[in-house]
Structure 1
Amino acid sequence: MAKKLSSAQLQELAIEKKIKRRNFISFSAFFIGAGAAFGGWKWLYNSPQETAGITAGTRQPLRRALNKTELFFRRIFSNDHVVKTYPKERAAKVVRVNSDIGMSTDNFNAANWQLSVVKKNGHVLKIGIEEIRALPKTEIVYDFKCVEGWDQIQHWAGLRFVDFMAHYGLQEQAEMEYVGMETPDGAYYVGLDMESALHPQTLLAYEMNDQPIAEVHGAPLRLIIPVKYGIKNLKRIGTINFSNQRPRDYWAEQGYDYYSGL
């Protein structure tokens, strides 16, 4: 004759069954999710490479997703979206150096540097660093972010890009879709959507921690664009141009996101 279980034992069995059922559901969901993730990864890995052009180095479906994301964020972009700023004492005294692409010293003389601005009609403005320094200065202390995962609070100062455009009568250029910037040697180059370039926190920077920028950080003039990752913050600007098509971009050609916004 079977032994009658007590209410406490029956309750314990019920709890044990519930635990086993939940474990079964959890493990099943895990393996189904892992299988789906592996299948998705395999599908993406075996999908065709994008056609090399302004962007390259990644798979077609991923690039389509990145482009759709860019369009979405550009539609909702607003100058009201500003990055958080900090007091000067929070800024790093030793600013991290992450890349020297475009920083070749061959045939480069900071004393002879001039910024070349290519207008819509093809006319080229030549602007010296002292001309830029003579215009109203803006400072920013913010958290510089790198796509590699590190960040650092940094203090920069220079001329707001929107003020630069207004001072040099570049309103017609400001109506275009994109800005392209290159180092003097042409080795590093970025493409920026005009909305981000004209953002009130975007600077043509010539000072870091209240001192002229060192060459390793992009002297005599570099881009500081807080609404973008560091890969868009071009050092040692040599040329600025404008277009209605996406300009070439160094890291987008290596498979990175063209927009690279925060």
Structure 2
Amino acid sequence: MSHSTEPKLPESDIPESAIRRRMIKSFGWFTLASAIPVGVYEWITHSPKLLGTKKPLRRVLDVNQQIAKTYFSDTHLVPTFPVEDAAKKARVNGFDGIKTPIPEDWKLQIDRRDNQPLLLTVDDIKALPKHEIVYEFKCIEGWSQVQYWGGVRLSDFLEKYKLGTKSGNSPNPDNTDDLFNYIGMETPDKGYYVGIDMESAMHPQTLLAYELNGQPITAPHGAPLRLIIPVKYGVKNLKRIGRIFFADERPRDFWAERGYDYYVGL
């Protein structure tokens, strides 16, 4: 069983302008930014930081999460497209956590409640039913692209290995008291890490992906195994998963520590 700790914040943060762009997409409040009194603007500017951004902006991001969670449903699916609509060359979105070569002895480590880690190969993952999705991958910085991914449903994976529950039984979405609140993932070098709310993790379109355009994914796209979670922006789609664990408190999250909201839902 894993428990999160208070994250150590990085020395450098993303620009405040990037945070404001994110909130404009979510609220529209800041379209009226020019009407904000100078005193309020100065107050925000001189406020202390909380998790990588000014405290008032962080509070707005937290409200954004609560609003997004109220309309989330595992029956709400993101739009999908015919395979022929997918980009022939998928765009790469960042190299944090995958700057080193793929470990030759790569195995997926899953922390379990009995403190006996489960180690799995890609072939173990491929033994589960395969699912494919062609959808619009969206980057939080504004670009998007229709992409074609294949892998196994994360929900099927959790059911197969009886993960994500406090009882050690297979997860039951109707028994939320038995589910951990979050699933954490990190790259083998621990250079990139995300925390995902369990509801989004168990969404039927969330995949542990090992194929892109019908071929094994390459190193720049997160080989040998990565997360594809269409209900989130790209920053949550962790590449080269090395470790998975579960927690009731928020696991640390790379971009949340640098100023973005934690939920980052579409």
Aligned-partner Cα distance in 1 for 2:218–2:260? 28
Higher RCO, 1 vs 2 (CA within 8 Å, ≥6 residues apart): 2
2:127 and 2:98 map into 1 onto residues whose CA distance is 25
Is the alpha carbon distance of 1:89 and 1:38 closer, same or farther for their aligned partners in structure 2, counting shifts above 3 Å? farther
Give the counterpart of 2:201 among 197, 204, 221.
Answer: 197
- Asked if the contact 2:210–2:225 (Cα under 8 Å) also holds between the matched residues in 1, the reply is yes
Please list the CA deviations of residues 20-75 of structure 1 after superposition, one character each: whole Å capped at 9, or x if unmatched. Answer: xxxxxxxxxxxx9835354443221122212xxxxx21011111121122123223
State the alpha-carbon separation in 2 of the partners of residues 48 and 105 from structure 1: 36
In structure 1, the residue matched to 2:48 is: 48
State yes or no: 1:231 paired with 2:214: no
Contact 2:164 2:180 in 1 (8 A): no
The 1:220/1:33 distance shift into structure 2, 3 A limit, reads closer
Distance 1:225 1:33, change over 3 A: closer
Query: 5+ unaligned residues in a row in structure 1: which ranges?
Result: 1-31, 51-55
State the SS of the aligned residue for 2:246: strand
Structure 1 runs (4+) greater than 4 angstroms displaced: none
Report 1:1-262 matches (<5 A): 34-36=34-36, 38-50=38-50, 56-106=51-101, 108-110=102-104, 112-170=105-163, 172=165, 174=171, 175-262=179-266
Question: TM-score, normalised to structure 2's length?
Answer: 0.80
Seen in structure 2, the aligned counterparts of structure 1 residues 234 and 37 have a Cα distance that, compared at 3 Å, is: farther
- For 2:48, give the aligned amino acid: P
In the alignment, structure 2 segments of 5+ residues that lack a partner are 1-31, 172-178
Quickly say closer, same or farther: Cα 1:92–1:121, change in 2 above 3 A: same
CA contact (8 A) 2:164 2:246 kept: no
Rg comparison, structure with higher value: 1
Distance change >3 Å, CA 65–CA 104, structure 1 → 2: same
Task: Report the aligned-residue RMSD.
Answer: 1.7
Q: Matches of 1:105 and 1:243 in 2, distance apart?
A: 28
User: Distance between the aligned counterparts of 1:135 and 1:43, measured in 2?
Assistant: 54
Letter of the 1:183 partner, please give it: T
Question: What is the distance in 1 between the residues matched to 2:76 and 2:208?
Answer: 19
Question: What percent identity do the matched residue pairs reach?
Answer: 53
Asked if structure 2 preserves the Cα contact closer than 8 Å seen for 1:104 and 1:185, the reply is no
CA distance in 1, matches of 2:33, 2:256: 31
One-letter code aligned to 1:43: W
CA contact (8 A) 2:108 2:241 kept: yes
Note the C-alpha offset of 1:82: 1.1
